[in-house]
Amino acid sequence: MIPTVNFHLIKACNYGCKFCYATFEDIKQKGLSEPEQYELMRLLAQSTKFRKINFAGGEPTLVPHIKKLIKHAKFLGFETSIVTNGSKIDAEWVKEMSSYLNILALSVDSIDDNTNLKSGRNEKGKVIPKEKLLEIAEVCHIYGIHLKVNTVVFKLNKLEYLTDFVNQLKPFRWKVLQVTRVEGQNDRQFDELKISDEEFENFCQSNEQKLLPDIKFVKEPANILQGSYLMIDMLGRFYDSSKGCHSYSKPILEVGVEQAMKEINLDIEKFTQREGNYSVTDETIKVEKYEKGI
């Protein structure tokens, strides 16, 4: 069983990354309400199959009640994680969430402004300053949130050397993913982004060499990405990309966790191969208080 659920709360994003696997252009309906999101998490916790919940998007920090969702997940007993471009959070946000958030993953594909502009990793021509990413990282370290870095390798950054900057961020884990075509998500622009397996391997080799020894380097080539993630969309459906496109289950709130799980394809071997089964809860982050009434 895959113990980590990636809950894609929202399709909206303030960036327009051309390589994004989760644009959800195929979804036109309005997402779950806030109470439905809490109920969905309750059902996931009740099933006892899942240990970790990772909030994703789109950009999850655009959800107005994202802090309440993280706190609720921690209250339910989950190891909590969020993946963000970092543009909508700051030191105070990180400090406030430090009692509830186990892992904060920053998406960092390039430190070259021109590359970030060309790839769509910007908001109306404005890229996130490296100084802000370093500040977020430093506050994570001070307040006990485990920092992670995610990097997608594609045509524009395939020759970039990111190791010096990643060493400054000092994450416990650096996940490097090969850009992968997903029909209905990034296929229209994929030809201008794709790289060969050899080019991906070259990026990994050149960047891993001088990485600090206490940073775990995890590479995810295209052949193990699809089908190795357990994901939920903003409509509350499990989905997978094992067939090269998003395949959705019936809504979990309608049919339950067990039935919805039967309607998707997961590859446990690939999940294990990409070293997805890890935990940071040995260093427990205590919940000092929880706002009731959700």
The CA distance from 44 to 50, in Å, is 7
Instruction: Please report the pLDDT score of residue 268 as a whole number.
Output: 79
Instruction: Please report the pLDDT score of residue 293 as a whole number.
Output: 42
Residue type, 206: S
Instruction: Please report the pLDDT score of residue 283 as a whole number.
Output: 43
Which CA distances in Å does 145 have to 32, 81, 103, 246, 287?
A: 28, 10, 6, 31, 13
Instruction: Please report the pLDDT score of residue 271 as a whole number.
Output: 83
The tokens describing 98, both together, are: 């430090």
Instruction: Please report the pLDDT score of residue 164 as a whole number.
Output: 98
Instruction: Please report the pLDDT score of residue 294 as a whole number.
Output: 42
Instruction: Please report the pLDDT score of residue 103 as a whole number.
Output: 97
Domains in the chain: ranges and CATH: 4-273 (3.20.20.70)
| CB contact set of 286 (below 8 Å; sequence gap of 6+) | 99
Q: Positive or negative CA dihedral for 267, 272, 275, 279?
A: positive
Check: CB of residue 127 under 8 Å from CB of residue 133: no
How does pLDDT run along the chain (294 residues), one tens digit per residue? 788 999 999 999 999 999 998 899 889 998 999 999 999 999 999 987 899 999 999 999 999 999 999 999 999 999 999 999 999 999 999 999 999 999 999 999 999 999 999 999 999 999 999 999 999 999 999 999 999 999 999 999 999 999 999 999 999 999 999 999 889 899 888 999 999 999 999 999 999 999 999 999 999 998 887 777 889 999 999 998 888 888 999 999 999 999 999 999 887 788 887 877 788 874 443 333 334 444
CA dihedral of 141, 143, 146, 150, whole degrees rounded to 10: -70
pTM: 0.92
Check: CB of residue 65 under 8 Å from CB of residue 34: yes
Check: CB of residue 231 under 8 Å from CB of residue 213: no
